[in-house]
Structure 1
Amino acid sequence: MPHTGFATIDFETTGLFPGGNDRVIEVAVVHSDPDGSITARWDTLINPGRDLGRQDIHRISAAEILRAPTFAQIAPELIARLDGRVLVAHNAAFDTRFLIAELERIDYVPDVELVALCTMQLARVFLPDAGRSLADCCAAFDIVLDGAHRASVDAEATARLLAGYMAHARDRSSWDQALEQADRGRLIPLIGAPTPWVPREHAQPTGRHFLERIVETLPPFGGSDAQNEYLALLDRCLLDRVISQHESDGLVAMATKLGISRDACEKLHLEYFWSLGAAAWSDGVLTADERDDLATVAALLQIPSDQFDRVVAEPDERPSDPGTAGTTLAGFRLEPGDLVTLTGEMSRPRSEWHDALTSHGLVPKEAVTKQVKLVVAADPDSLSGKARKARNYGITVVDEAGLARLLAGV
């Protein structure tokens, strides 16, 4: 009977420590025949139920993760794709530690020892003069590594690296021994409903603007109270000049709850935009930064270009107000003494943000309670426990840019 072959795996994770709180957020599996030829590929994002750690490294957004399955959901197929095969990874100790930790979290313990090969360690034999990184090893074999720190890219490159090692080996005895050992030690199947794997390209937000998701025909608009409630939520959503997936969903839900149709929302957005324009022109000057800011908001709210031109025009050249600039928003502001909580891997050290908060008379707060005024997340769609609790309490969540804007007004 021929050996099953190799399964090259790669994980992207929230951090480096599977024994702590770090979790897997992406996995790729590449199958190869016993001779090293690639035969199949799979990859998926994984929802870890927490913040995503160093997003600048793996470049995975929380909005993408919202569409991804959990590890428990993909585990049955993952185990089936590893069963009877030699596991291969670049720095296999890292990937197998995370694999075992995630399996233990769902109470699955392999009853056999996993047979694994490490292409980083094998570089000592086949590439003694090269570096140990995946990029260095791939360069020695002219293997393309475009888009590193994406699981599918790294797993594919590692599988090709394995094939390169095998082609340069003097004999097959070590490979055959590993294949025979893996073939004898089969994993216990994990029973579970099939769950689609969701690669990054399938997890991207649809691009469908939240306005398009608001029902076109609803009962008549509920009046000024409903209008102000919707505009107040819109104002909070735009604090960081980003409308996150959670905020987009919240605006759609609010419009539906208040009976505000799509046409009414468009009018409210225009009213809000004219109010921002009036505030920008209040000193008689529209700076380049203010114009850029208005352009950002116009794009987020799908303000027609002719309306943007009217708002940014010199006051004496501006056409008459369309009758939608009557609302004045109190706006969301931070006041000295307000409690602010930070969550996730920030681009600036937490200590710097703490100093900035205290210098403005604000109080950094580790835990999220109902008394917290604002939660600042590395990603506004953060899945951290703090961000989830903030949303449950109705506490505003912004990114670092949003905090910077608010501090400028304190």
Structure 2
Amino acid sequence: MMSTRGFAVVDVESTGLFPGGSDRVIELAVVTTDELGSVTGEWETVVNPRRHIGAGHVHGLDGATLMNAPAFADILPDLVDVLDGRAIVAHNASFDRRFLAAEFARARAPLPDDAPFVCTMRLAREIIPGAGRSLADCCAAFDVELSSAHHALGDARATAELLAGYIASTGAAMWRPHLEKAASVSWRRPEHTSPAPFSAWMPRATARDDRHFLERMSAALPEVSAPEAHLDYLALLDRCLIDRHVSQHEAVELIALADELGVDRPTALALHESYVQQLAAVAWADGVLTAEERADIEAVARMLGVSDELRERALDARGREPATPVAPAPAAGAAASAIALGSIVVLTGAMSRPREQWEAELVAGGFRIASAVSKNVGLVVAADPDSLSGKARKAREYGIPVVGESYLDVLLSQRVEAGS
């Protein structure tokens, strides 16, 4: 038990503005201080909301960062340990309190009604009148640096420093009633399930593994891989590359299947090299390698970790015998052809264009639109290829490709070319 007299400065980032609806917490930070505002500790974590993550351009988070993050219920026991006995402080505390209350309720551990929340935004009118109400305005009044705005830990650190300035300006006596009230609050203590305190918490900086997926495969496995296993791996690779982008979810799928099939890292790299060689052979079949085909092969080679030297050999291979095929390779520049006319397409997430416009163009291009994901769907298009929305999760369960919005331009342009 961590209960100590003092303050707990909190900040949450969320998918939107409505905690009573479907919006969720996606990042949380807590900075603890003593009674005079001196920092005594800090913790941060991203949180998997199990839904679309909202305005990524504001909070800077995406599905690839949050896909392996803990659920709020997983971090709750440690959070209660930090908050118990402390007065909770936030800038625009009403916002943070409503989101915390909603998440506590979902975890069946209600936030105590009498937990004291101190709002540095509301206090600004009294302590620094005329300074403005934003965190940036209030921090400027005390020369507090606000870096990494809309990152939970950056905002919590700045608010903690602002709190220290408030306490120094007003004297500690003004804050004692908040501390005394905090000491009397009774918290429901969820059972700890993590092996060590805060082991479930995942800071933003460490949440995403940006290594190439080949580097995350086993370096060596028992020799059980057979040509059939190679074909299974390559079939998944075909599906992942339909939009010429390997998302983090797809990388995890490839790694898991390789491990299951006994395809180790050197074998996977050999398959990738053969894949690129076959793409080049198909592109050269008509005796001409177009700029579009070259760009496509170069992009695939980069995604698959194929060396520049081998890629260039494949691109310069006109007149040579192609490598022994290991699986049929999709033609360069023709990724869109994998989605047949008449296929059902589902769109999810906030896109750069109104969804109705995309749907109208897809229908005009010969596709059908559905609002829900079923096993009959051929493609799910998400604002973020690593979307955590329910539609994207269901599509992955069914083995349906999940692609980004940019793929729609490719899909529709190739349909226009095919019809001209």
TM superposition score normalised by structure 1: 0.89
Residue 123 of structure 2 aligns with an amino acid whose one-letter code is L
The answer for the alignment partner of 2:121 in structure 1 is 120
The answer for the alignment partner of 1:87 in structure 2 is 88
Residue 306 of structure 1 aligns with an amino acid whose one-letter code is E
CA–CA distance in structure 2, aligned partners of residues 367 and 3 of structure 1 = 49
User: Which piece of structure 1 moves more, 146-155 or 201-210?
Assistant: 201-210
Q: How far did residue 221 of structure 1 move? A: 4.7
CA–CA distance in structure 1, aligned partners of residues 327 and 188 of structure 2 = 64
CA–CA distance in structure 2, aligned partners of residues 334 and 189 of structure 1 = 51
CA–CA distance in structure 2, aligned partners of residues 370 and 85 of structure 1 = 50
Give yes or no for the alignment of 1:376 onto 2:381.
yes
Q: How far did residue 394 of structure 1 move? A: 1.3
TM superposition score normalised by structure 2: 0.87
Q: How far did residue 120 of structure 1 move? A: 1.6
Q: How far did residue 339 of structure 1 move? A: 0.9
Secondary structure, aligned partner of 2:27? strand
CA–CA distance in structure 1, aligned partners of residues 362 and 119 of structure 2 = 46
Q: How far did residue 216 of structure 1 move? A: 3.1
The answer (yes or no) to whether the contact 2:100–2:111 under 8 Å persists in 1 is no
**Could you say if the C-alpha distance between residues 273 and 154 of structure 1 is closer, same or farther in structure 2, counting changes exceeding 3 Å?**
same
The answer (yes or no) to whether the contact 2:214–2:305 under 8 Å persists in 1 is no
CA–CA distance in structure 2, aligned partners of residues 215 and 404 of structure 1 = 38
The answer (yes or no) to whether the contact 1:3–1:179 under 8 Å persists in 2 is no
Secondary structure, aligned partner of 1:146? coil
CA–CA distance in structure 2, aligned partners of residues 180 and 326 of structure 1 = 72
Give yes or no for the alignment of 1:346 onto 2:347.
no
The answer for the alignment partner of 1:216 in structure 2 is 220
**Could you say if the C-alpha distance between residues 220 and 179 of structure 1 is closer, same or farther in structure 2, counting changes exceeding 3 Å?**
closer
| Aligned alpha-carbon RMSD (Å) | 2.6
Residue 201 of structure 1 aligns with an amino acid whose one-letter code is A
The answer for the alignment partner of 1:235 in structure 2 is 238
The answer (yes or no) to whether the contact 1:12–1:26 under 8 Å persists in 2 is yes
The answer for the alignment partner of 1:275 in structure 2 is 278
Per-residue CA deviation, residues 84-129 of structure 1 (Å, 9 max, x unaligned), is: 2111111110100011111111221244412111112222223333
Give yes or no for the alignment of 1:28 onto 2:23.
no
Contiguous gaps of at least 5 residues in structure 1: none
The answer (yes or no) to whether the contact 2:16–2:23 under 8 Å persists in 1 is yes
Aligned length: 403
The answer for the alignment partner of 1:305 in structure 2 is 308
The answer (yes or no) to whether the contact 1:267–1:324 under 8 Å persists in 2 is no
Give yes or no for the alignment of 1:265 onto 2:268.
yes
The answer for the alignment partner of 2:368 in structure 1 is 363
CA–CA distance in structure 1, aligned partners of residues 263 and 8 of structure 2 = 53
**Could you say if the C-alpha distance between residues 162 and 107 of structure 1 is closer, same or farther in structure 2, counting changes exceeding 3 Å?**
same
CA–CA distance in structure 1, aligned partners of residues 281 and 248 of structure 2 = 29
Q: How far did residue 381 of structure 1 move? A: 2.5
**Could you say if the C-alpha distance between residues 207 and 174 of structure 1 is closer, same or farther in structure 2, counting changes exceeding 3 Å?**
same
CA–CA distance in structure 1, aligned partners of residues 321 and 308 of structure 2 = 15
User: Which piece of structure 1 moves more, 102-111 or 227-236?
Assistant: 227-236
Per-residue CA deviation, residues 389-410 of structure 1 (Å, 9 max, x unaligned), is: 1112111111122333333322
The answer for the alignment partner of 1:203 in structure 2 is 207
Q: How far did residue 35 of structure 1 move? A: 1.1
The answer (yes or no) to whether the contact 1:270–1:324 under 8 Å persists in 2 is no
Contiguous gaps of at least 5 residues in structure 2: 416-420
Give yes or no for the alignment of 1:13 onto 2:14.
yes
**Could you say if the C-alpha distance between residues 298 and 159 of structure 1 is closer, same or farther in structure 2, counting changes exceeding 3 Å?**
same
The answer (yes or no) to whether the contact 2:278–2:323 under 8 Å persists in 1 is no
Q: How far did residue 283 of structure 1 move? A: 6.8
**Could you say if the C-alpha distance between residues 128 and 209 of structure 1 is closer, same or farther in structure 2, counting changes exceeding 3 Å?**
same
Give yes or no for the alignment of 1:295 onto 2:271.
no
CA–CA distance in structure 2, aligned partners of residues 253 and 3 of structure 1 = 44
Secondary structure, aligned partner of 2:12? strand
Residue 371 of structure 2 aligns with an amino acid whose one-letter code is E
**Could you say if the C-alpha distance between residues 311 and 86 of structure 1 is closer, same or farther in structure 2, counting changes exceeding 3 Å?**
same
CA–CA distance in structure 1, aligned partners of residues 60 and 242 of structure 2 = 23
Q: How far did residue 78 of structure 1 move? A: 0.5
The answer (yes or no) to whether the contact 2:214–2:268 under 8 Å persists in 1 is no
The answer for the alignment partner of 2:399 in structure 1 is 394
Residue 199 of structure 1 aligns with an amino acid whose one-letter code is P
CA–CA distance in structure 2, aligned partners of residues 237 and 388 of structure 1 = 15
**Could you say if the C-alpha distance between residues 13 and 286 of structure 1 is closer, same or farther in structure 2, counting changes exceeding 3 Å?**
same
**Could you say if the C-alpha distance between residues 309 and 208 of structure 1 is closer, same or farther in structure 2, counting changes exceeding 3 Å?**
closer
Q: How far did residue 52 of structure 1 move? A: 1.5
Per-residue CA deviation, residues 350-393 of structure 1 (Å, 9 max, x unaligned), is: 23322332232222211001110001122223222211211121
Q: How far did residue 301 of structure 1 move? A: 0.9
Per-residue CA deviation, residues 6-58 of structure 1 (Å, 9 max, x unaligned), is: 11100111111111111111110011111111111111111222222222221
Give yes or no for the alignment of 1:181 onto 2:185.
no
The answer for the alignment partner of 1:192 in structure 2 is 192
Residue 210 of structure 1 aligns with an amino acid whose one-letter code is L
